[in-house]
Amino acid sequence: MAGLINNLLILSLVFQNNCLGFRSPLSVFKRYKDATRSLSSECLGSDRPVISLGLSDFALDIRMPGVTPKQSDTYLCMSVSLPVDDEAYVVDFKPHASMDTVHHMLLFGCNEPSSTENYWDCDEGTCKDKSNILYAWARNAPPTRLPKGVGFRVGGETGGKFFVLQVHYGDISAFRDKHKDCSGVTLHLTHQKQPLIAGMYLMMSVSTVIPPGEKVVDADIACHYKRFPMHLFAYRVHTHRLGKVVSGYRVRNGQWTLIGRQSPQLPQAFYPVEHPVDVSYDDILAARCVFSGEGRTTETHIGGTANDEMCNFYIMYYMEAKHAVSYMTCTQNANPEMFRNIPQEANIPIPVKPDMLKMTHGHHEETKDTDKKSSLQLSKGEEEEILDQDFHIEEAVEWPGLDLNLGQVSGLALDHENNLVVFHRGDHVWDENSFDSKFVYQQRGLGPIEQNTIFVLNPSTAKLLHSTGKSLFYLPHGLSIDKNGNYWLTDVALHQVFKLGADSKEPLLTLGVALQPGSDKNHFCQPTDVAVDPITGSVYVSDGYCNSRIIQFSPNGLYIMQWGEETSLGRARPGQFNIPHSLALIPDFSQLCVADRENGRIQCFRLGTGEFVKEIKHKSFGRELFAVSYAPGGLLFAVNGMPYPGEAEPVQGFVMNFSTGEIIDTFIPLRKSFEMPHDVVASEDKTVFVGDVHARTVWKFASTEKLETVVEARLKNNPEPTDPLKKQEKQHLVRQASTGVSFVLITTLLIIPVVVLLAILVFIRWRKTTVYGADGEHKLDSNSSRVLGRLRGKGGGGLNLGNFFASHKGYSRKGFDRLSTEGSDQEKDEDDGTDSEEEYSAPPPPPAPSSS
């Protein structure tokens, strides 16, 4: 028996030592944190370069250590070692720089930086060994996110052990105040193995000369590709001030396929390759930069200063891991004759707005050599796509708007002060008794709504700032606000559209005939929404539940044109509607997008002509798409309807890339569930409000942008974190608690046999004491006595695993301390919140499309 107990005890101690070998994710950074660099106090986060983002992910902050360049065109470098020894993958980049101070930044990966100093002049070089460009930034470019499953491989046996940041300070007039610069980039890394490895292919001209006054100068680059297939997913162009357009192509069997084309005077981001392009063995990669020497009095050469030029075309690609090559370059023109056949688009400059050009070059960067005549107007149809960012929104749970005393919420808008304007129905309800078969309102005897139907709310606190709209409406529906702050509203009972001043009690303009449905130029039939062109003042009305058209009016209400027709049998064609329910005007691209509700899609048309541009439709929309809204910067927001019985698509919100139509994110409430989300509106900062006609409430959702929020909030010395950060920290604590639970559970299961044996021994001891008297106690095996003594602890008051394990050298109590009541409650709260969501429940099948 004693031998068995000893063996079990040894096994338990071995298990204990093995468990202690499992380190906290943060422990892998301990040696790195102990040697953190001492930087300027002006650099936020310089003392916290490594941030844990969970069990397998972390962020690495790479910043200039508070530098002040002494002369223009200074290139400064600094290095940061990878804080882990094993292989990791870079999956995200977030720049921290402004064109006011930085011309461009490059991030290299290598094994041996050129210097061990805090920072150094890049004339000394970047790396002593081979270096790979991982990232490039210039001209206020946005963050870059790699596709799912793709990452730059670093560390391990084949990846680089150091990152080297190179920052080019062009004009240093911004440093007259002697401030210290902390520009840099934050990397999001993961230990999760990525099946596809990213790389960079740089095409660069090294010998181009631009003669002074020359109107058009081409710089051509071309190389034969001699490796395993690669798949191109993003591109970036780079020149200095003389560049007009840069284009890149794959040439296969004489056919030119566009990779990407962009003006280098726009933000120099990595833009997505619009159509997938693969490159195979013996294909040709070709690029052309178009320059103009007008305004220059001397020749301009390729070089590193702001008054020199560059012609660079960067391509981000991915390859299968077993064939991956991380970096390739092309600096020659292998076949000059082939450029006679380059597509004509490569020779056409892309126009840029004057204000964009000014922002691009910076107010302090204008010199006597600057081409002052290069400012051109941006064509309305010019669309720009930014590589998908890590964008995510969640409910702002502290928003008190759920407690407002509202009627059925039908419309939302934001005024010029970013206040939320709510259009609701007070004590009136749209139900099956509201209209007859000819769409004539049947409850006129109730009179107009006696409550104020328009609420203006503080977007942060939901405090009521102003209210109006009493005794004007019968069944409110759509709401929008024009550039002058006027409200445009629709009433489906009155079959009218109203223009109302923010402070006026009487309409400034009324369209349609009260209580008379119709389909001619002077009548509407349950009009749903309004959009007003901020440039022309044209008014667009979606009409509606019983018409299938979009009508355009002049600013003073004169009929101009209309388009649209009822949906035919089979698949709905472009320009056909089945309840055009919501409008979103896209001024950046001169388009009007329509939530074609019962067709479950979004249709977009040219302003002024009604020409169909595109359809956005996803299976996850389900059968109904209720509302759509656009936020400057290229994001489209939408909400769908409840699923029909037997259908799986839940009611939820969607975030989409406007240019591609791709769904970037979906969102649902955390506190309650959507019942019938009826309208959605988004602000420039990507705050989103959703009005629910059945729940009679307004939800608020805020952007978290996970990496940015975690890193920015933690790097700043701010004791009051933002809501999204609180949630992330809460989730991290839950993960920690889960880890503790797993540890204790396994330990307990292995200890149970020991406890059972001890109980048997105690029973035998009691029996012997009963039979033999007190002297029987000494007949227990001495080894067993020692074991029992250790398990009892000093107090001898029973089994104390904490003290038992803590008695071993090197053991930390943290594994036990972390399993607190607070941690358990947090995990339970998370589960309870999830279980309480009922948005998947389906209503009974309606006999006809639901009203409201």
- C-alpha–C-alpha distance, residues 836 and 488, integer Å: 38
pLDDT in tens, 621-672: 999 999 999 998 789 999 999 998 888 899 999 999 898 899 999 999 998 8
Q: Give the active site residue among 104, 428, 477, 581.
A: 104
Q: What does pTM read for this prediction?
A: 0.46
Q: What is the model's pLDDT at position 672? A: 87
Q: Cα(264)–Cα(243) distance, rounded to whole angstroms?
A: 6
Q: Which two tokens stand for residue 759?
A: 């109980």
Strand residues in 623-779 grouped as ranges (E): 625-631, 635-640, 653-657, 663-667, 677-682, 688-692, 697-703
Reply yes or no on whether the pLDDT at 73 is more than 90: no
pLDDT cut 70: percent of the chain above it: 72
- Given the DSSP bridges, would you call strands 120-121 and 487-491 parallel, antiparallel or unpaired? unpaired
Integer Cα distance of 616 and 1 in angstroms: 74
pLDDT band at 267 (very low <50, low <70, confident <90, very high): confident
At residue 447, does pLDDT exceed 90?
Answer: yes
Q: Does residue 33 surpass a pLDDT of 70?
A: no
Q: Report the sign of the C-alpha dihedral through residues 787, 793, 799, 802, in that order.
A: negative
Q: Pinpoint the alpha helices (H) of 483-609.
A: none
Catalytic residue among 188, 240, 424, 495: 240
Tens of pLDDT, residues 796-851: 333 333 333 333 333 333 332 322 222 222 333 333 333 322 333 334 444 455 56
- For residue 78, indicate whether it is catalytic: no
Active-site annotation holder among 310, 319, 642, 656: 310
Mean pLDDT of all residues in 381-404: 68
DSSP assignment letter at 392: -
Which residues are registered as beta bridge partners of 309? 302
Q: Which of 19-28, 267-276, 693-702, 755-764 has the highest mean pLDDT?
A: 693-702
Q: What is the pLDDT of residue 277?
A: 94
d(CA 54, CA 734): 11
Query: Span 335-358, mean pLDDT?
Result: 80
What are the C-alpha distances in Å from 552 to residues 478, 525, 538, 561?
Answer: 16, 15, 7, 5
Question: pLDDT by residue (tens digit) across 705-748?
Answer: 533 443 344 444 444 444 443 444 434 433 443 344 444 455 55
Mean pLDDT of 154-158: 85
Q: Which pLDDT band holds residue 503 (cuts at 50, 70, 90)?
A: confident
Which residue shows structure tokens 């204008």? 366
pLDDT at site 354: 59
Cis omega before residue 544 (within 30°)?
A: yes
Please say if the pLDDT value at position 219 is more than 50.
Answer: yes
Which residue is catalytic, options 16, 166, 194, 496?
Answer: 166
Residue 388 has pLDDT above 70, yes or no: no
Q: What is the pLDDT at residue 487?
A: 98
**Is it the case that residue 167 has pLDDT exceeding 90?**
yes
Q: SS3 breakdown of the chain: % helix, strand, coil, rounded to 5?
A: 20, 35, 45
Helix (H) or strand (E) holding 135: strand 132-138
Q: What is the pLDDT of residue 349?
A: 86
Chain-centre distance for alpha carbon 464: 31
Q: Between vectors from CA 82 to CA 76 and to CA 87, what angle results, nearest 5°?
A: 140
Active site residue 323: no
Look at residue 316 in the predicted model and tell me its pLDDT: 92
Catalytic: 103?
yes
Q: Which amino acid is at 421?
A: V
Q: Rounded distance, CA 285 to CA 288, Å?
A: 11
DSSP β-ladder status, 409-414 and 230-238: unpaired
User: Does 240 qualify as catalytic in the annotation?
Assistant: yes
Q: What is the pLDDT of residue 712?
A: 45
Higher pLDDT, 728 or 379: 728
CB 475 within 8 A of CB 449: no
Measure the CA–CA gap between 614 and 660, rounded to whole angstroms.
10
Q: Tell me how far CA of residue 684 lies from CA of 261, 313, 393, 706, 772, in angstroms.
A: 27, 31, 14, 18, 87
pLDDT surpasses 50 at 371 = no
CA–CA distances in Å: residue 169 to residues 77, 119, 305, 363: 11, 14, 9, 15
> How far apart are alpha carbons 254 and 90 in whole angstroms?
36
Q: Residue 690 in contact with residue 698, Cβ under 8 Å?
A: yes
- Strands 162-169 and 104-110 turn out to be antiparallel
Confidence tier at 413 by pLDDT (50, 70, 90): very high
Q: Is the pLDDT of residue 615 over 90?
A: yes
Q: Is 104 marked active-site?
A: yes
Q: Where are the alpha helices (DSSP H) in 180-243?
A: none
Residue by residue, DSSP assigns 385-438 as --PPP---EEE-TT-GGGG---S-EEEEEE-TT--EEEEE-TT----TTSB-TT
Look up 238 and say whether it is catalytic.
yes
**CA Rg, the chain, in Å?**
33
For residue 215, pLDDT beyond 50: yes
Residues with Cβ < 8 Å from 113, sequence gap 6 or more? 77, 79, 126, 127, 128, 162, 164
The answer to whether the beta carbons of residues 154 and 111 sit under 8 Å apart is no
Q: What is the mean pLDDT of residues 217-236?
A: 94
Confidence of residue 142 (pLDDT cuts 50, 70, 90): low
pLDDT of residue 846: 45
Across the range 88-107, mean pLDDT stands at 87
How does 765-793 read in b/e, with b if 16+ C-beta sit within 10 Å? beebeeeeeeebeeebeeebeebbeebeb
Q: Alpha-carbon distance 729 to 706, whole Å?
A: 11
Tell me what pLDDT residue 645 has: 85
Predicted confidence (pLDDT) at residue 609 exceeds the cutoff of 80: yes
In this predicted structure, which of 75-84, 114-123, 158-167, 266-275 has the lowest mean pLDDT? 266-275
Whose CA is closest to 595, among 639, 551, 557?
A: 639
CA 254 to CA 638: how far, in whole Å? 43
Q: Give the other-Cβ count within 10 Å of 751's Cβ.
A: 19
Is 603 a known active-site residue? no
* 767: confidence class by pLDDT, cuts 50, 70, 90: low
**What span, in angstroms and rounded, lies between the C-alpha atoms of 199 and 419?**
45
- Phi and psi at 616, nearest 5°, equal -120, 115
C-alpha–C-alpha distance, residues 753 and 661, integer Å? 60
pLDDT score for 417 = 94
Q: Which residue in 242, 240, 248, 241 sits closest to 271, CA to CA?
A: 248
- 580 neighbors 549 (Cβ within 8 angstroms): yes
Q: Is the pLDDT of residue 407 over 90?
A: yes
Using a pLDDT cut of 90, give the percent of the chain over it: 52
Residue 95: strand, helix, or coil: strand
Q: In 3D, which of 765, 786, 787 has the Cα closest to residue 776?
A: 765
Q: What is the mean pLDDT of the chain?
A: 78
Count the residues in the chain.
852
* Run of H or E residues at 804: helix 801-806
Q: Are 661 and 642 in contact (CB under 8 A)?
A: no
